[in-house]
Amino acid sequence: MPIYEFECDDCDRDTSVFTRSVSAPIGDPTCRHCGSVSLRRKISRVAVVRSRQDLYRDYDRLSAFDDAPSDDDYDGMDDDYFDDGYD
């Protein structure tokens, strides 16, 4: 079920329009917030289906960050900020 997203020129809010199929006409969409017909179609986000093998390959690339400092290495840094009077 395709979802088309529009941004309203009048209220600057987003409106989604659902259709039964890609070949189904969208018609004249209206803003569900203010009722305006002055809408601009947005480029929607898409999801990419990937194989498990591709995901494992990405996890292997993340191992390059194993030597990066952990969050614990930065404990107390914000305390120095407040101790110096920058609050």
Q: Which residues pair with 18 in a beta bridge?
A: 3
Between residues 56 and 40, the one the model is more confident about: 40
- Stated as kind and residue range, the H or E segment containing 6 is strand 3-8
pLDDT above 70 covers what percent of the chain? 79
Distances (CA, A) of 54 to 45, 49, 66: 20, 10, 20
Each residue of 14-34: pLDDT tens digit? 999 888 777 777 788 899 999
User: For position 10, what pLDDT does the model report?
Assistant: 96
**Domain range list for the chain:** 3-41
Write b or e for each residue in 56-80: b if 16 or more Cβ atoms lie within 10 A of its Cβ, otherwise e: eeeeeeeeeeeeeeeeeeeeeeeee
pTM here is: 0.49
